Amino acid sequence: MLLFVVSIATFAIFFLVPRLAGMSADDLASRYVGKAANDQMIHEAAIRLGFNDPLVVQYGRFVKGIFVGVDRNYGPGIEHCPAPCLGYSYVTQNPVLPDLLDRLPITLSLALGAAVVWVVFGVSTGVLSALRRGSFFDRLSMGVALAGVSLPIFFTGIVSLAIFRDQLGLVGDVADWVPFSEDPLTWANNLILPWVTLAFLYAAGYARLTRAGMLETMSEDYIRTARAKGLPERMVVVKHGLRATLTPVMTMFGLDLGLLLGGAVLTESTFSLPGIGKYAVDAINNNDLPQVMGVTLTAAVFIILANLIVDLLYAVVDPRVRLT
Amino acid sequence: MSESPFLDVKDLKIHFSTDDGVVKSVDGLSFSLERGKTLGIVGESGSGKSVTSLGILGLHRGKSANVSGEIWLDGEDLVTASQEHVRRLRGRKMAMIFQDPLSSMHPFYSVGDQIIEAYRIHHKVSKSVARKHAIDMLGRVGIPEPKRRVDSYPHEFSGGMRQRAMIAMALSCDPELLIADEPTTALDVTVQAQILDLMRDLQREFNSALIIITHDLGVVAELSNDILVMYAGKCIEYGSAEDIFYRPEHPYTWGLLGSMPRLDREPTERLLPVKGTPPSLINVPSGCAFHPRCPYSDQTDGQSKAEIPALINTDPGHLVRCHLSRTQRRTLWENEVKPVLETQ
Amino acid sequence: MKIRSTASAVAITAALALVVSACGGGGSAKKTGGSGAEAPASQYNAGVTQVVNPSDKTGGTLHMGMPGDFDSVDPGDQYYGYAWNFSRLYTRALTMFKPVPGKEGLELVGDLAEGLGKASDGGKTWTYTLRKGIKFEDGTPVTSKDVKYAVARSLDKEILPSGPTYFNDWLDNGDYTGPYKMKDKLDSWKGIDTPDDQTVVFHLKKAYGGFDYFAMLPSTAPVPAAKDTGTKYKEHPVATGPYMFKAHELGKRIELVKNPNWDAATDPNRKQLNDSVEVLLGQNEDDLDQRLLSGKIDVKINSTGVGANARKTVLTDDKVKQYADSAPLDRTWFTNLNADVPPLDNVHCRKAVLYAADRSAIQGAYGGPDAGGEVALSLMPSKMTGYEKNDLYGVEANPGGDVNKAKEELKACGQPNGFSTTISFRVERAAEKQTAESLQQSLGRVGIKLEVKGFPQGDYFKLYAGKPDFAKKNGLGLMVYGWGADYPEGFGFFQQIVDSRVIRAAGNTNLGVKDPEIDKLVDQAAAEQDATKRNSIWASVDKKVMDDAFILPYVWAHGLFYRPPTLKNAFISQNFGMYEFLTLSTQ
């Protein structure tokens, strides 16, 4: 349902906004022909791309592609793009779905790796800050956290590249993407800075959230009970305190991760990682509707999935929301 | 009696330093308790009774709390013992039953898990053994179908059942000292009676020393051997249950007796209510801390404002902290207070 | 709160300090090369006129990086200078610009063909003879049929939309629309004949003297029909040059390796020094520049050189600047004067604008002399073949404008106190915005008041400045613009911007130059087969446009390019206005 709404909205924005600006189908098509195209070529392109058809028909064609597939003339012959087919890019003429699948591992590696880093650092910083409330560590980490959420990634990204790669040489200079399955070391070497930079942005929020949650939880009655039972303090904090704090953290985590899997736009652009986010930027810059549709749908799928998983996990963590 | 008592608290002081000043929550409290006996600590909220119980369990340390005095438990001073050592005693040698079991039990863990956890900290046994023990304990506190209920979560229990589970958890390690902090406050009257019966039975069974902390004298009336009345961090009257109920000497105790809810009265009706509000523990009134609320302070020749009264023996084992003379106190009780309390 | 904000302020300051030091030190700290001291000190602009670091050593990998992606690497589907430059690494067109520094680099020589084309039938027929012994990467010999097929497929702008349309427009195609739509009709196409395997004959609709420039287009590079996969051919274009595709991860990376079937004996212009060439696509431009300056990337592929941030480092640090070249491009930045909007219908009013404009201020807006370009004296860039100096408005002497002359022209126009009009520009382009504001100021000196109006660049030509109705109705008297040639010869530069017959209802490239005499000159020049005569006609087109005052040129564009000290055989191609890729090496 959400996918349906998202796809219609994307579609409508793409077509209605130019129409409001007074662009004709040919004007629209002129974005997708070469520099030297004449009026006739543009007109033919508009017909070929179906821009003259009513919006409903165009949208129907898109939906049909998803369920039935699309036939396309690639020059020497006709090829079938099997369902689910997200169509072909107006600009590069490549089929969208393989492009997305090709870029997915990069975004997955980036998002999941960063997620591990930010959860570990964010949550542990938050816990320590809460336990040592008002201490130097607490103030320092909350200050750094503030910087983390305030500084834009294209700034921290370029700065960290300049420092850790160019000045200190701590990470190697392999800029092109290598999959984990091929060479895990190079994979990690390529991703460590993006992970940390991206995680810096998020860890801050998690540290603050965890700290606030821990401060609240640690004053709960059941924490006193746990202590009265003679539990060692570490168990009190981790098993009883943190466990209860993790529910809001988990909710936030699910949403963040879902969004990120739809493309870590700035990080991928800053670190030249050809993932979904970079793809999204290019798609939008090129007004490439099939690509934009593909990216939006991918993002929507991830957000839905993430929410679903969070809801399921929520029930696992908190027995009170379990269905009986 | 020549041996030292099982629990012997001497001149216990628990002060908290806050931004507004030092809060003297407990200020020079002494009492003792033997195995198999029950002590009731009674007082309004803020009188220091809960702070005392947490203090005995050593749950105040490491924060802004300043604990001094002595707490001898079975020959060991808990005040000077290491935190780690006290932690090991907690749950095993001394355990606590909290009020409001819904908030005092972890909402994410099953009742059984919480009992198993308590048991396994102090006993190196397998999970299944601990589980059997937990089921056993649940059965002993009167929870029906303990095998099934062991996997239930606190929110799935009724209030009374939760309190029973809480008791099962506290008793799981067979503690020699059990402190129950307002164990029945959150429960309705019939359930209160059941829980109190249960506690009495269990205490006999386990032969543990029991401290019941409450603001309601009615709760301790039947259970306690001795009763300690606290006001503003200090003991103002101490004696056997009989002393306190039949021969109370402190005007504050009279007030508490007058405030006792009784089944034959409207709960809102109070015969001799204690007027005013409990004192601030930062700026404790001069002299007798109770004097601003005491209806008889004008009979002390101004002493009550000037001097902190001493805790003195009025009878063997019956102590009172009051400037009124013994005669004055007994006359007032016999002529003014007792008749009012007995009118209905 | 106070402590927190102090702490974060410290963190930010520290980060900024690191950035500054990182930028400042990026160029000089060359750990990887370690050759900062031993390498011969280079000179700024050395690469414009000579080969820097000549070397014949072999081996290694040439690392190239690109901020975006090619329009395509299919030789039949590309239109950017850097794409044409790059595709010569793996393909060979009929002719090519000589890969040497200086003016000689503007000369065409045979590549796949033995030499330049032979014209007959008054310039309507052009014949090329292929060199013998040229093979595709799989060892199959290249024949004239492969060239014919390559050009034929490039006609289909549905499948291959990106390339230029010269062959669509000039060849005698009849109804033929390419081999995809008209299967098995290749033989009936009259545009190209292949009398034998070594001979390619082009038939034109009308005479064109500069056809050798068309023969240089990558769409004449042979494509074996059997290996043509249409839109997917870019995944692996079949090589005839010294390198061939090993990998093409679309949008991500390209890896070229030595083509074993390339024979240096058939190719006097290319080298095959590095073992492989790697291109990283879609790189973050700031980071790419940083890696270029530190020598981790050997060449940046784009049309204007280092980006705005790195430009500052290059121009302010002499240690870095010595490795940079300011390369003239085939591009002029100018503003069109719209004769549809009175009083600019009067040539004197237009001349007043040309006199009053402060061109040196605009030069600053475009990045100054090194990164922006020279002050333009006329429309045609001085680097182009056939340029003749033409300074009708005394710009060389008065780059800041000639207020007195402007006032005289205003009087002659009947507007002694000046007039008001609107100037349009593309909002996304900061330089154009500054240009419009600068003109507002300098024209204001003679009483010409400008209202500044920005329009989105995506629709600038379709809906606004390039739509005569709109421009007239909205009184766009001045329209900020710029134009680059496909190749450094008059036809490619002028035809689209001064020929009044290309003006249509919308989407124009000519924003209002309307003079029948200019049209006539364009036709003459196109048909002229003698290069010298042809060039002088283009020079007179340049003069006529200036005399008509339809266009106010102000900057002949330059790009600022950087060659790391480790890069060998580097020089600026006069034709492409960037480093010549064919000779580059890291060894």
Q: What percent of chain C has pLDDT over 70?
A: 93
**pLDDT-derived band of residue C568, with 50, 70 and 90 as boundaries?**
very high
Which pLDDT does position B61 carry in this prediction? Answer: 61
Which pLDDT does position C30 carry in this prediction? Answer: 37
Judged against a pLDDT cut of 50, whether residue C9 lies above it is answered with no
CA distance C161 to A41: 9
Mean pLDDT value of segment A256-264: 83
Which pLDDT does position A130 carry in this prediction? Answer: 84
User: What are the extents of the domains in chain B?
Assistant: 7-224, 250-342
Q: What is the pLDDT of residues C10-41, one digit of tens each?
A: 334 444 444 444 443 333 333 343 444 444 47
Answer yes or no: do A230 and B118 touch at CB < 8 A.
Answer: yes
Q: What is the pLDDT of residues A37-69, one digit of tens each?
A: 788 888 888 888 888 888 888 888 888 888 888
Among B98, B121, B122, the residue with its CB nearest the CB of A221 is B98
Closest CA to C252 of C279, C286, C290: C279
CA distance C158 to C328: 34
Which pLDDT does position C270 carry in this prediction? Answer: 94
**β-strands B7-18, B65-73 pairing:** antiparallel
Judged against a pLDDT cut of 60, whether residue C2 lies above it is answered with no
Q: Which of A9-23, A133-147, A265-279 has the highest average model confidence (pLDDT)?
A: A265-279
3-class SS at C263? Answer: coil
Closest CA to A65 of A55, A57, A76: A57
Contacting residues of A for B54, CB less than 8 Å apart: 224
Q: What is the pLDDT of residues A126-138, one digit of tens each?
A: 888 888 877 888 8
Which pLDDT does position B102 carry in this prediction? Answer: 84
Among A222, A243, A320, the residue with its CB nearest the CB of B105 is A222
Q: Which CATH topology does B7-224 take?
A: Rossmann fold (3.40.50)
Residue C461 DSSP symbol: I
Which pLDDT does position B273 carry in this prediction? Answer: 66
Neighbours of B68 (CB within 10 A): 12
Contacting residues of A for C186, CB less than 8 Å apart: none
CA distance A16 to A9: 10
Which pLDDT does position C442 carry in this prediction? Answer: 95
Mutate to test the interface with B, among A217, A223, A225, A322 (most CBs of B within 10 A): A225
Answer yes or no: do A230 and B107 touch at CB < 8 A.
Answer: no
Mean pLDDT value of segment C156-166: 89
**pLDDT-derived band of residue A175, with 50, 70 and 90 as boundaries?**
low
Answer yes or no: do B106 and A221 touch at CB < 8 A.
Answer: no
Nearest-Cα residue of chain A relative to residue B166: A225
Which pLDDT does position C552 carry in this prediction? Answer: 96
**β-strands B7-18, B21-33 pairing:** antiparallel
Each as own residue / partner, the long-range contacts of residues C470-473 (CB below 8 Å, 24 or more positions apart, any chain) are C471/C338, C471/C340, C471/C341, C471/C424, C471/C511, C471/C512, C472/C338, C472/C340, C472/C341
Predicted confidence pLDDT, tens digits, chain B (344 residues): 446 889 999 999 999 888 888 888 898 899 999 988 999 999 888 888 889 998 999 888 666 788 899 999 988 899 898 888 999 999 889 999 988 878 889 988 999 999 999 899 898 999 999 999 999 989 888 889 999 999 999 999 988 888 889 888 988 888 899 999 888 877 777 888 888 888 888 888 888 899 999 888 888 888 889 999 999 899 999 999 989 988 899 999 988 888 776 555 554 455 566 777 888 888 888 888 888 888 888 888 888 888 888 898 988 889 999 998 888 889 998 888 888 877 64
Q: Regarding predicted confidence, which is higher, A204 or C253? A: C253
Answer yes or no: do A230 and B106 touch at CB < 8 A.
Answer: no
Which pLDDT does position A245 carry in this prediction? Answer: 87
Answer yes or no: do A74 and C4 touch at CB < 8 A.
Answer: no
Which pLDDT does position B321 carry in this prediction? Answer: 92
- CA B167 to chain CA centroid, Å, is 15
In angstroms, the separation between the Cα of residue A46 and the nearest Cα of chain C is: 11
A33's tokens:
């022909």
Contacting residues of C for A29, CB less than 8 Å apart: none
Answer yes or no: do C79 and A34 touch at CB < 8 A.
Answer: yes
Answer yes or no: do A222 and B104 touch at CB < 8 A.
Answer: yes
Read off φ and ψ for residue B163, nearest 5 degrees: -65, -35
Among A102, A142, A282, the residue with its CB nearest the CB of C4 is A142
What is each CA distance from A170 to A189, A193, B263, C73, in whole angstroms?
Answer: 9, 10, 79, 35
Which pLDDT does position B275 carry in this prediction? Answer: 78
**pLDDT-derived band of residue C5, with 50, 70 and 90 as boundaries?**
very low
- β-bridge mates for residue B321, sequence order: B311
Q: What is the pLDDT of residues A73-124, one digit of tens each?
A: 888 889 898 888 888 998 888 899 999 999 999 999 999 999 999 999 988 8
Least confident of A297-311, C398-412, C438-452: A297-311
Which pLDDT does position C196 carry in this prediction? Answer: 94
pTM here? Answer: 0.80
